[in-house]
Amino acid sequence: MATAAASIKQVPFTWEGTDRAGKKVKGKTVAASESAVRSELRRQGVVATRIKKQSTLFQGSGKVTAGDIAIFSRQMATMMTAGIPLVQSFDIIGAGHENPAMQKLVLAIKADVEGGVALADALAKHPMHFDDLFVNLVAAGEQAGALETLLDKIATYKEKTEAIKKKIKKALFYPAAVVVVSFIVTAILLIFVIPEFEKLFQGFGADLPAFTRMVIDISNFVQTRGWLIVIVLVGGVWGFIQAKKRYRGVQHMIDRVSLKLPVIGGILTKSAIARFARTLATTFAAGVPLVEALESVAGACGNILYEQGVLEMRDEVATGQRLQRAMENTELFPNMVVQMIAVGEESGSLDEMSSKVADFYEEEVDNAVDSMSSLLEPLIMAILGVLVGGLVIAMYLPIFKMGAVV
C-alpha 167 chain-centroid distance: 9
Which uninterrupted H or E stretch holds 403? helix 350-405
Cα distances (Å, whole numbers) of residue 308 to 266, 311, 313, 365: 19, 5, 9, 22
Question: What are the pLDDT tens digits along the chain (406 aa)?
Answer: 344 444 455 666 777 888 888 888 877 676 667 777 787 788 778 888 888 776 544 344 468 888 888 888 888 888 888 888 888 888 888 776 777 788 888 888 888 888 888 998 999 888 888 888 888 888 888 887 788 888 888 888 888 888 888 888 877 787 777 778 888 888 888 888 888 888 877 776 667 888 888 888 888 888 888 888 889 988 998 998 888 888 888 888 888 898 888 888 888 899 999 999 998 998 888 888 888 888 888 888 888 999 999 999 999 999 989 999 999 999 899 999 999 999 998 888 888 999 999 999 989 988 888 888 777 778 778 877 888 888 888 888 887 776 554 4
Amino acid at 257: V
Tally of CB atoms within 10 A around 406: 5
Give the pLDDT score at 319. Answer: 92
Which uninterrupted H or E stretch holds 14? strand 11-18
Give the pLDDT score at 4. Answer: 42
Phi (first) and psi of residue 61, to 5 degrees:
-75, -25
Query: What's the predicted TM-score (pTM) here?
Result: 0.70
Let me know the angle formed at the C-alpha of 246 by 297 and 124, rounded to the nearest 5 degrees: 45
Which uninterrupted H or E stretch holds 127? none
Which uninterrupted H or E stretch holds 52? strand 47-53
The answer to whether 279 and 290 have CB atoms below 8 angstroms apart is no
What DSSP string describes 319-353?
TT--HHHHHHHHT-S-HHHHHHHHHHHHHT-HHHH
Measured over the CA atoms of residue 331, residue 333, residue 336 and residue 341, the dihedral's sign is: negative
Give the pLDDT score at 156. Answer: 86
The answer to whether 164 and 365 have CB atoms below 8 angstroms apart is yes
Give the pLDDT score at 406. Answer: 43
Cα distances (Å, whole numbers) of residue 236 to 77, 97, 229: 44, 38, 10
